[in-house]
Structure 1
Amino acid sequence: MSLVEIATAVSHQFVAAPVQIASFWLSVTLPLFYIPLIFDGLGAKVLPSFIGLLSLHLVTLFLGRNYRQEKA
């Protein structure tokens, strides 16, 4: 086993996997935070928070998209 293969396996196990797990579960729970923002109305005061939350949700969806998928 080469040094590159070892580094790749270690980086996936200790860096990529936890980020992927956290991103997946954040993407599942973030929609709960939309509800209070929508009930307050999307006025000038709430709109930046809503846009930031939506952007964060898109990033977490992208990062957590392969969590628990079967490897072919």
Structure 2
Amino acid sequence: MALVDIITSFSHQFVAAPIQIISFWLSVTLPLFYVPLIFEGLGAKVLPLFVGLLIFHVVTLFLGRNHRQEQV
């Protein structure tokens, strides 16, 4: 086994996999935070928080998109 293969395997197992898992579950649970923000109203005080939450949700969807897919 070449050194590059070992580093790639190590990188995926200890770096990429936990990031995918955490991002996937964050993207699943983040919509729960939209409800109180929307009920409070999207005024000048809440709107930046809501937009930031939407951007964070898009990032977590992107990072967690390959969670639990078969590795070929």
The alpha-carbon deviation at position 59 of structure 1 amounts to 0.3
Q: What is the TM-score normalised by the length of structure 1?
A: 0.97
1:7 aligns with 7
- Report the count of equivalent residues: 72
Q: Give unpaired runs (5+ residues) of structure 2.
A: none
Q: Give unpaired runs (5+ residues) of structure 1.
A: none
Post-superposition CA distance 1:5-57 (Å, at most 9, x none): 10000000000000000000000000000000000111111000000100000
Amino acid at match of 2:53: L
Give the root-mean-square deviation of aligned CA atoms. 0.7
Distance 1:5 1:66 in 2: 20
Q: What is the TM-score normalised by the length of structure 2?
A: 0.97
1:23 aligns with 23
Distance 2:71 2:6 in 1: 19
Distance 1:69 1:3 in 2: 26
Amino acid at match of 2:23: S
Where do residues 1-72 of structure 1 align in structure 2 (5 Å cutoff)?
1-72=1-72
Indicate the percent of aligned positions where both proteins have the same amino acid: 76
